[in-house]
Structure 1
Amino acid sequence: MNQQQQARLYLGIDLGGTNIKAGVVSDSGLPLGFASVPTEAQIGPMHGVQQMVRAAELALLKAGVSFPQITAAGLASPGTMDIPAGMLLEPTNLPGWDQFPVRDQVAKALGLPTILQNDANAAAYGEYWAGQAKHAQSLAFYTLGTGLGGGLIIDDHIIEGRHSHGGELGHVILEMHNGRYCNTGQYGTAEAYVSATALLRRFTEQLEGGAVTSVRNRLLAGQTLTPLMIAEEAEHGDQVSLELIMEMAQCLGATITSCVHVIDPDMVLLGGAMTFGRDTTMVGREFMQRVRQEFRTRTFPTLAEKITIDWASLGGDAGFIGAAGCARLAVQKGRLSAG
């Protein structure tokens, strides 16, 4: 690597339905400064572009650099998209942004060559490039949140697919008959069993069925049912809460098995907002143990022995770090001209 490459800086933007996070990242994957601003998506896509520029300006200010020092930008976005065209199709998290050429509008506003990537793919690449999987050759990444996202990286290549829908790990089918409803309109997908939405639906069913749970006391006190509340009560010994979380872990273990049997990765990582405190809590530790146990009972002995399943390490920074990494990768492969 020459001195010019070592000095290269990249801008990563993680566009969400609620907030936008932008950061300046070094050529080695080190965040130098980042900022977050509200998306205000309801105002419209062009306002969203202005908010992305604002987040970028704040990130550059914190990093102590200016736009001419940035080589390229990467934009990570939720929703269905046409990645080569840089187009958002029908992003459910961004109502009113349908058929919006987000990449070109952001590139024009920033004055930087810009690449678009699915947000889960970007987070996966962040972990692969600069996180928990940086010494792996291949990775299957799951992001647990409102839904179940995923990304696949093999030999520094992001599996986008021919129609920009590759790596949709949350939409493999777990149940063919009488499957649970998924917000995509499908039935029986992994996301219908492994997501915050799924956990809340399952818990509501238990409450309506008269289940005895300490969560009911908090609801009677006027609190709102959330995955965090369920996890807290599970940690304090509530059996209904713990059983539903473990049921979800079991479904995730089966989902991972199907993915592993297709690509045989070095590593599987779990990230996102719903990780139950990871290794710092009893629930987080038992969740991971149940995922691994289910995987090992369903897979081949060699894969059970050699494939690592662990927590991701970049947390909420994975999106913008990965987006910057995607821009860097595109420059290296000649798909994006350096600014």
Structure 2
Amino acid sequence: MSALADRPPYYLGIDLGGTNVKSGVVDDDGQPRSSIRIKTHADRGPEAGIATLAEAGRLAVEASGLSWEDIAAVGLGSPGTMDIPAGMLLDPPNLPGWQNLPIRDLLAARLEKPTVLQNDANAAAYGEYWTGAGKGVTSLVLFTLGTGVGGGIVEQGRIIEGSHSHGGECGHLVIQMENGRQCGCGGYGHLEAYASATALVKRALEALELSDEPTVLRKHLAEGKLSARSINEASLAGDSLAALLMRETAHYLAVGAVCMMHTINPDIILFAGGMSNAGPEFMELIREGVKRMAFPLPASRTKIDYATLGEEAGYIGAAGCARMTFGPSKPPSK
């Protein structure tokens, strides 16, 4: 956006992932002035990791054309279990050796800026609420679809963190009580075990073992190209087994959405991440499932759609968390 159109103060958002760190400077209206990406190198350990986060922040400020003095505060979004009020990472599975790490205070000391820590999916949800597909709504639920299924809830401008920093874990809703599939967290019957990209591929492999039905998925498997994307593409091309797998995935996501509708009753439920590239047909399947299972009133009034900020949601939302904590005393006006 034009430097003449944005509005100070400015906030630095950092989105920590197991593979990449994304960072950007965001103005007081949630509009980004810069966006950069560098490798995390998580295997080098937490000390090197903090240095990488600080470097990502400095590169983003440099790319924004602003000075370091223009940055009011920093927001960090991170995966893994955490104690948000204490600023501690507890046991992040994709960050080996980063256990019980006071990441917020270590980064604040490096950057010499007030810093806030937030769960990465919560941050993405807040980004969509602040300036994305949820702009203008009162309440929002976000499902992030990828290797796993994450989630975030925003209600009246407030992120629902819960008493133990585990609020909004929508991917771990139990959708199968008996003989459930095992989730990556070790539990059974969780939504993530059915509807993540990883789960979709596992279900496809199981279906190929049990069925002699002609399908292009066998060719994809033989070529090492079987993935959530290839399954969706085969479905769109008319492959019957792939279409069945996608319908089942949409059903599972609709179950998750209905659980949240009957708990939170949000204005909007959004789906983000790699599987959100499945297209309008897939989204329509989710909506149809919601209409079948939800109470009639929320089924007719709750908007179900894809998120719009893509990979920018994390750092924009993290910057918004910094704004909430260190900037204006109330949530952004709607």
- Kindly indicate whether the alpha-carbon contact (under 8 Å) linking 1:231 and 1:276 is maintained by their aligned counterparts in 2: no
The two structures, once aligned, show a CA RMSD in angstroms of: 1.5
Q: Hey, what's the Cα distance between the residues in 2 that align with 1:301 and 1:219? A: 42
- Kindly indicate whether the alpha-carbon contact (under 8 Å) linking 2:12 and 2:73 is maintained by their aligned counterparts in 1: yes
Taking every aligned residue pair, what percent have the same amino acid on both sides? 48
Amino acid at match of 2:141: A
Query: 2:103 maps to what in 1?
Result: 102
Q: Which segment is superposed worse, 31-40 or 267-276?
A: 267-276
Which runs of no fewer than 5 residues in structure 2 stay unpaired?
1-5
Amino acid at match of 1:322: G
Query: 2:9 maps to what in 1?
Result: 8
SS at match of 1:287: helix
Query: 2:3 maps to what in 1?
Result: none
Matched, 1:216 2:218: yes
| Normalised TM-score (structure 2) | 0.94
- Change in Cα spacing, 1:69 to 1:333, as seen in structure 2 (3 Å) is closer
Give how far 1:197 is off. 1.4
Which runs of no fewer than 5 residues in structure 1 stay unpaired?
278-283
Give how far 1:218 is off. 2.9
Matched, 1:226 2:221: no
Amino acid at match of 1:120: A
Picking from 276, 301, 313, the partner of 2:296 is 301
- Kindly indicate whether the alpha-carbon contact (under 8 Å) linking 2:25 and 2:64 is maintained by their aligned counterparts in 1: yes
- Kindly indicate whether the alpha-carbon contact (under 8 Å) linking 1:41 and 1:95 is maintained by their aligned counterparts in 2: yes
Partner deviation per Cα, 1:211-250 (whole Å, 9 max, x = no partner)? 4310211332x33322122122222221111211110100
Q: Hey, what's the Cα distance between the residues in 2 that align with 1:240 and 1:203? A: 8
Q: Hey, what's the Cα distance between the residues in 1 that align with 2:277 and 2:35? A: 25
Matched, 1:201 2:202: yes
- Kindly indicate whether the alpha-carbon contact (under 8 Å) linking 2:114 and 2:326 is maintained by their aligned counterparts in 1: no
Query: 1:311 maps to what in 2?
Result: 306
Q: Hey, what's the Cα distance between the residues in 2 that align with 1:195 and 1:219? A: 18
Partner deviation per Cα, 1:35-64 (whole Å, 9 max, x = no partner)? 100000000011111111111121111110
Q: Hey, what's the Cα distance between the residues in 2 that align with 1:249 and 1:98? A: 35
Amino acid at match of 1:312: A
Give how far 1:155 is off. 0.4
Q: Hey, what's the Cα distance between the residues in 2 that align with 1:47 and 1:57? A: 15
Stretches of 4+ aligned residues off by more than 4 angstroms: none
Give how far 1:101 is off. 0.8
Give how far 1:333 is off. 6.2
Q: Which segment is superposed worse, 160-169 or 59-68?
A: 59-68
Q: Hey, what's the Cα distance between the residues in 2 that align with 1:268 and 1:316? A: 18
Q: Hey, what's the Cα distance between the residues in 1 that align with 2:317 and 2:76? A: 9
Q: Which segment is superposed worse, 118-127 or 94-103?
A: 94-103
Q: Hey, what's the Cα distance between the residues in 2 that align with 1:27 and 1:206? A: 50
Partner deviation per Cα, 1:168-206 (whole Å, 9 max, x = no partner)? 111111011000110111000111111011101101111
- Kindly indicate whether the alpha-carbon contact (under 8 Å) linking 1:37 and 1:55 is maintained by their aligned counterparts in 2: yes
Query: 1:242 maps to what in 2?
Result: 243
Alignment of 1:253-268 (within 5 A): 253-268=254-269
Q: Which segment is superposed worse, 8-17 or 224-233?
A: 224-233
Query: 2:30 maps to what in 1?
Result: 29
Amino acid at match of 2:218: R
Partner deviation per Cα, 1:11-35 (whole Å, 9 max, x = no partner)? 0000000000000000000000011
- Change in Cα spacing, 1:255 to 1:304, as seen in structure 2 (3 Å) is same
Amino acid at match of 2:118: Q
- Kindly indicate whether the alpha-carbon contact (under 8 Å) linking 2:147 and 2:197 is maintained by their aligned counterparts in 1: yes
Q: Hey, what's the Cα distance between the residues in 2 that align with 1:105 and 1:272? A: 29
